Every structure is written in C-alpha cells, then in structure tokens.
Amino acid sequence: MRLRLGLLYLMVAAAASPVIIDRIAIVVNNQIIKQSDIERDIRVTDFLNHDPLSLSLAARKQAANRLIDQAFIRHEVRVGDYPTATFEDADAQLSLIKKDKFKSNEAFLQAVRNYGLTVPDLRFTFRWQLTVLRFIDVRFKPAALVTDTDVQQYYNAHLAALRQAHPKAYALKDVQSEIHQTLVSEKVNQLFFAWLDEQRKEAKIQYLEEKLR
C-alpha cells in the first residue's frame, strides 16, 4: 500500500509540474522556426527599439515573417560560404548599444531582464545581424550600379532638401559622394528585397501554427 501511495504521489506531482513544450511553428523548406524563436525575436526587437514588450498575435506574425526571411538568408550564407561575423564583432556592437542607450551597466542588465532576455541572447542576435549585413553587402552591392546621370537626376529632384541639409555647400560636386552612397544603398535594398520576394515564391512554407499565416 505504501508503495502504491508513493507511486501515486509521484504521478500526481509530475502531472502538477508545468511542462514547457517548445513547438514548431513554421517549416521553411527544411528549416524549422519554433515558438521560442518567435518570442525571442519579439523580445529582442522591442528591446532594441525601446518599445513596450508586446507578444500579441500581430507582433508574432511580424516576427514570424522576419524569421522566414532570415531562414532564406541563413541557407544562402551556408551554401554560398559567405563571411560570418564573430562574437567579438557582436560584443563591439553590444558595447556601443550599452554606451549610447544606457546610463550604466546595471541599467543595461536590468533592461535585459525586464524584456525576458539574457546577454547571450543579444550576443547571438548581434552576431547574426552583422552577418546579414555582410551578406547583403557582398551579394548585392556589386550589382548596384549608379551612373553620373542617376546622381544628377537625384540632385535636381532633391535640391531644396540638399540646400537645407548643406546650407554652405550644396553644389553637385559638394554632395556628389553622399548622393552616390544614398543611391547605392537604395539599389542594394531593391535588389535584396526582390531576392527575398523570389525566395518566398519558390519556397515551401508550412504553417503548423495557422494563426501566423
């Protein structure tokens, strides 16, 4: 009888203990996105933007879309052997955030805790973000061609704004380099997002959590 009661107690205790199951939310080709990935993405995004933490369905959908795009990039980085950032690079970025956004290290750590994050969460995030930026730069920047005509047209179309931003030096020769960089960035973004759209058209995306569709 005592043995049976002991076994019964163990069964009840096990049933009463909370069990956290990390379910698969989305499958992108052969890559999985878990519910915990979505929640972590939301927490990190709200932390970096200094927004109130929101785990609403709308926020989860936005995070899911970001992670789907990241799945495409992750695959391309791996198969294309693109350069990846290091944790030293991530730590340097983390130090900048702490210096620019927080009065002290304790204030930074408290904010991290408030968003349900850890410092390793941020290190992994920054390492990945820097890897993505390098991928975009290496993959798309060589094709972002900007001509002198493009620069001249941009200058003519934005002359008023350029005069306001550069009251003492707004002649074309003074802002030509800045305009060129702006146009290159715009074309890189166009090429990158067009690539993402093409990846989505060709990908097999399974929503195991239908609400995220």
pLDDT, tens digit, 9 for 90 and up, residues 133-189? 999 999 999 999 999 999 999 999 999 999 999 998 889 999 999 999 999 999 999
Task: Dig out the tokens for 113 from the structure.
Answer: 């805790």
Q: Is residue 192 part of a domain?
A: yes
Domain that holds residue 180: 24-212
Percent of the chain residues topping a pLDDT of 90? 88
Give long-range contacts, CB 8 A cutoff, 24+ apart: 17-24. 23/208, 23/209, 24/208
pTM, rounded to two decimals: 0.84
In a domain, 7, yes or no: no
**Structural tokens at position 149:** 């005509």
Assess if residue 171 is contained within a domain.
Answer: yes
What total of structural domains would you count in the chain? 1
Q: Is 7 helix (H, G, I), strand (E, B) or coil?
A: helix
Q: pLDDT at residue 110 above 90? A: yes
**CATH (domain of 102):** 1.10.4030.10
Task: Please check whether residue 21 is in contact with residue 47, taking contact to mean a CB–CB distance below 8 angstroms.
Answer: no
